[in-house]
Amino acid sequence: MNQNIIIRNISVVDKHASSDKTYDIYIRDGKIQKVGIAPEDDSALVIDGTGLTAFPSFFDMHVHFRDPGFTHKEDILTGAAAAAAGGVTGVLCMPNTNPPVDNEETINYIKDKAAQTGIDIYQTACITKGMAGGELADFEMYKRLGIVAVSDDGKPVKNAELMRRGLINADKYGLLLTSHCEDMDIIGKGIMNKGAVSEKLGVPGMDRASEDSITVREMALAGAAGVPVHIAHVSTEGSIGFIRDAKKRGLKVTCETAPHYFIFTDEKLLARDADFRMNPPLREKRDVEAITEAVIDGTIDCIVTDHAPHAANEKADFEKAPNGVVGLETSFAATVTYLYHTGKITLERISELMSENPRKLLGLEPVYIREGSTADICIADLNREWTVDPEKLHSKSHNTLFKGVTLKGKPVITISKGKIIYSETK
């Protein structure tokens, strides 16, 4: 049984709460029972919320926990610990594990291990069998086993007709289809954004047309069929422009981005550090500005991390290293630092992007700081400055591109279903 909790004198991020007031939050039986003045309860744990802010806990709909098959990088338990430290109580894992997530045995393995964590772990399954791009997987089985989304994440489905049928099938079974929009033929041997920096470094680049072209294809296929499509980790000015236009035309398209795409440019790679390599890659200043504007104007629906752990020895060689960065423990702090403290977006918008919208897109019940809601709460110190130390991360891998960066804002307590799953002292 969960202990009753009273959080006193805390600011609350909720559409129905006043930003210039503080509240008590009373939690009992895993639910928020009162927002206002808490009743007397001598058995309750009391948390002093003075100077702190309560958010509905975050949901990251794009993570890689590498389990099964690559657990030297991360596993479900360490991934969940990293999530909790970032104020995240729900995640959607990608299916590019070993074996890929396309069969009942693997799905049940993940579900059983996920039940050992203190967070909600949902699983994406493959669009095609084995992620091989040859034939569609069994979507009916996915639905029966509780799968909420499908993707061949890491690459798109190359065959357009197969993708079209995948989109229609996903809609039939109520699964969100997410596309990783990069044409692998255009990318070739590229390891970073193609441009002045890649030329200066003398390494093969990844042309932005790889992302833009597949983004347009997926929206055209979905639009013709009248079904939804979700575009993963948008990074280019072109892609977000196409998505904005498609939304204006009424297409059922949604999209996500990650903090590094509205913060960093490919100039970070001049130091030849593979911790700044990911797919899609860091782009140029105009792309950063375009992604930022799309977060502000509502074109982008969600902020995710694409949390992609790799071991230190795998990241040692700049040109041979696999692409990917961890992000669960820095996503909220980076967003607050670069978008809220700079006056670009509100705390309410951050809550939409990182909590409400991801859950809604997946057909899950959103959480709020309201009476009757599940007590999934991130308590954050918005003014806490801290410098990211990779060795102190809870993830099994430490390949963060925020290493050494001082951020302003940090989750200090995470509550999942009324239970404290992460806490740190100031």
| Distance (Å) of CA 308 to CA 27, 200, 208, 292 | 34, 27, 21, 22
Contact yes or no for 225/167 (Cβ under 8 A): yes
Task: For the beta carbon of residue 403, count every other beta carbon within 10 angstroms.
Answer: 17
Contact yes or no for 57/84 (Cβ under 8 A): no
Q: Which residue in 318, 343, 310, 307 sits closest to 70, CA to CA?
A: 310
CA distance 214 to 255: 14
Quick check: is 306 catalytic?
Answer: yes
Query: Regarding beta strands 120-125 and 5-12, do their DSSP bridges make them parallel or antiparallel, or are they unpaired?
Result: unpaired
User: Which three-class secondary structure state does DSSP give residue 194?
Assistant: coil
Which is catalytic among the residues 183, 301, 306, 381? 306
Contact yes or no for 42/82 (Cβ under 8 A): no
CA distance 91 to 208: 28
CA diameter of the chain: 67
Q: Which residues pair with 325 in a beta bridge?
A: 307
> Torsion-angle region of residue 187: left (phi > 0), alpha (psi -120 to 50) or beta?
alpha
Q: Which residue in 76, 81, 214 sits closest to 153, CA to CA?
A: 214
Percent helix / strand / coil, the chain, rounded to 5: 30, 25, 45
- Name residue 321's amino acid: A
- CA 292 to chain CA centroid, nearest Å: 16
Q: Which residues are catalytic?
A: 306
